[in-house]
Each structure stands twice: as structure tokens, then as C-alpha cells.
Amino acid sequence: MRILILSDVHANLAALEAVLQDAGNFDMIWSLGDIVGYGPDPNACITRLNDFEHLAIAGNHDWGVLGKIDLADFNPDARQANLWTREQLTPQSFAYLQSLPEKLIQGDFTLAHGSPRHPIWEYILHESIAKINFTHFETTFCLVGHTHVPIIFQYDTETSRCLAAMPPEREPFQLETNRYRYIINPGGVGQPRDGDPRAAYMLLDLEEKVFEYRRVSYDIAATQKKMRAAGLPFRLIARLELGW
């Protein structure tokens, strides 16, 4: 089974469509949260995701838009975008976001937006935070998003060491599961933050445990134009072309 793993679409339909096209054939999507927030197409992105068989979990923006967490916890631009998004949501989109769980376990995979320890809010940016989080899930793999930065944390169960690495783009990589466990972040589709403005995602051959990390260009100007028309914050529009 071929899984398309994506996270942090952030209502960026142009980026989502580019990923869907670039991914080729797949059997299912696993979405790691923040389908909405920041971008101009929240309803269209939810509708598009629902065109496919998929698993999805909630992110902090999804909950912020719903009012399940206080918007005071967001920075001013994110708060403004969340308020705008809340006004746009159709009842169907609202119900869909309400239905998303905080965490999912699927076979040998745990899915959590931020981290297995604190699924909605924690950022796993460093090995030290990753290492603590390996004690908060029991499967071999945990898939996370939230930082919008692609990375793989590898935990050695014999030495208790945790290392961070990234594989090259568009090369299948096999993970060694006899000795190691992994926390994997595919990067962000709709608002990459690693200095590369291209949408990021991963593919997974579920039976073989073979991953592939990919980046794909999309029409950034088209998304920016919609954001300007919607009156979304300038900083959120500008950052898309910088990839941060």
C-alpha cells in the first residue's frame, strides 16, 4: 500500500494540488494536521482531502479556528488568519474539523501533529526534545508535523542515542526497524519553513517500510494573490516565497 504523508496544508490549495499531482498513484493519504489556517482556501482544501481515502488528525490551527483553544495563544498574524478562517468555514468544514482526533495509532505508526507527548502544541525541533518523546509512544514510528521542517529522528534502542538526519530528495530509503525507532516529519505542504519555498511531503510503501522525501514547486503567486484579496496579513503572504 502506498501512502501519501502530508502535513500543514494550511489552506494552500495550489500547494496541495501540486503535491497530489506530483505524488502519482497512491492508495491513501495520512494528513498530520493544520489543514486550515494562514491560507486562502480552507473549505476547498478540506473538500479536496475528502476526495481521497484518508486518515487525519487535528493541529493547533484546526483547533484554534474551532475555538477549542484560545486564540490568545497564537501570534497576532496567526490569530487574524484564524478569525478570518472561522468566518469562511461551511458547516460541513466545521463538522469535519470537529471530527478530527488529537492522535491516531495505525499499525506500527502513531500520528500526532506536534508530538506524541503534547500532540497539539509541542514542537520537535531538536534531538533532545525528540529523545524525550520516544518514551511517549509505543509504535516503531511516530509521524509529526507542526514545525513545517522535514526531518527524521532516529532512536537507537541499544545505546539510547537519538540522531537527526534527512535523506536526499526523491530517493527511496529503507528504515532499519530491528534496532531503531523513528519520529518523522514530512515538512509542510502549504507554508514550508526550512528556507525552501517548495511544498514538502513524503511517500511511504507501508509493507516494505520504504519512505521517499519529495519537494515540488507550486504557483506561489496564485496563493498570494488570493490572500491579498482576502485581506490576510502581509507577513503571511510574503513568507511563502521565502520558505520560512
* Footprint of Zn ion (CB under 5 A): 8, 34
Q: Report the alpha-carbon angle 39-80-59, nearest 5.
A: 60
CA distance 30 to 100: 12
DSSP string spanning 32-98? -S--SSSSS-HHHHHHHHTTS-EEE---HHHHHHHTSS-GGGS-HHHHHHHHHHHHH--HHHHHHHH
Closer residue to Zn ion in complex, CB, 193/226: 193
CA distance 148 to 199: 10
CA distance 75 to 64: 12
User: Smallest gap, in angstroms, from Cβ of residue 149 to Zn ion?
Assistant: 11
Closer residue to Zn ion in complex, CB, 125/206: 125
Closer residue to Zn ion in complex, CB, 102/205: 102
Closer residue to Zn ion in complex, CB, 39/116: 39
User: Smallest gap, in angstroms, from Cβ of residue 222 to Zn ion?
Assistant: 20
User: Smallest gap, in angstroms, from Cβ of residue 13 to Zn ion?
Assistant: 16
> What Å distances lie between residue 71 and 32, 40, 49, CA to CA?
21, 19, 25
Closer residue to Zn ion in complex, CB, 32/142: 32
CA distance 192 to 198: 7
Nearest-10 crossing angle of helices 42-49, 13-23: 20
Give the cell for residue 103. 492522535
CA distance 11 to 226: 11
User: Smallest gap, in angstroms, from Cβ of residue 38 to Zn ion?
Assistant: 7
User: Smallest gap, in angstroms, from Cβ of residue 193 to Zn ion?
Assistant: 9
User: Smallest gap, in angstroms, from Cβ of residue 9 to Zn ion?
Assistant: 9
Closer residue to Zn ion in complex, CB, 78/175: 78
